[in-house]
Amino acid sequence: MILYNEFFQKDVVTLAKSLIGKVLCRKIDNFTLKARIIETEAYSKAEPASHSSLGYSLSRAAMFMDAGTIYMYHSRAGASFNISALGEGDAVLVKSGICFLDNDTDTLAFMQQINKKNEKLRDIYYLASGQTLLCKSLMIDRALWDKKQFNNELYIEDTGYIPENIVITSRLGIPKDRDNLLLPYRYVDKAYIKYATKGRCKVY
């Protein structure tokens, strides 16, 4: 079942948890690239760790748009994929995923080709293990998708999977002066925790 706008009409913490287990899909050429979301982070405008806390700007506009708007930004490693939540300036970072291809070996081979590491094929279980790897493996480009809504080329599916245990832990990569409380706003499907972003995992 494809998720529509009403699904995203949630506060940022609820949305971050609700996205765990859903499948992010990208149709391109003759392929449908898919990754099950296994890790998310929640960001509220009310806290300095969020980009939106710096105020409205053209580059951050998507965070101030309707819930379900795609917000993308670039770090040194590449693009990151976020979804705006209910609440101006609030958004969920899709931190990592795991390939979900229903034994489609052709699509899997394609995803490995577009996301090589030093010309070597990545392990299939780690193709989307990290926010920039996720974008590379699904060919989600900032220039095409920032400030856009989901459509028939990029969408999220609910396959009926419900995580048995979601680990609640601290976010990663936040400077101490912007996240002094180390808020537990990162959520990881425990069943796939070995394929999530590496780093501290203090469980709350």
Residue 180 has pLDDT above 90, yes or no: no
Mean pLDDT score of the chain: 89
pLDDT digits (tens, 9 = 90+) for 28-44: 988 999 999 999 999 98
**Does residue 182 register a pLDDT over 70?**
no
Comparing 200 with 135, the larger pLDDT belongs to: 135
CB-based contact 158:28 (threshold 8 Å): no
How many angstroms separate the CA atoms of 2 and 31, rounded? Answer: 17
pLDDT at 158: 97
Q: Would you state the torsion angle of the CA atoms of residues 184, 179, 173, 51, taken in this order, to the nearest 10 degrees?
A: 100
CA torsion 167-170-172-177 (nearest 10°) is 170
CATH number, domain 5-195? 3.10.300.10
pLDDT at 98 over 90: yes
Q: Could you tell me the residue ranges of all domains in the chain? A: 5-195
Q: Which token pair is 171?
A: 């976010």
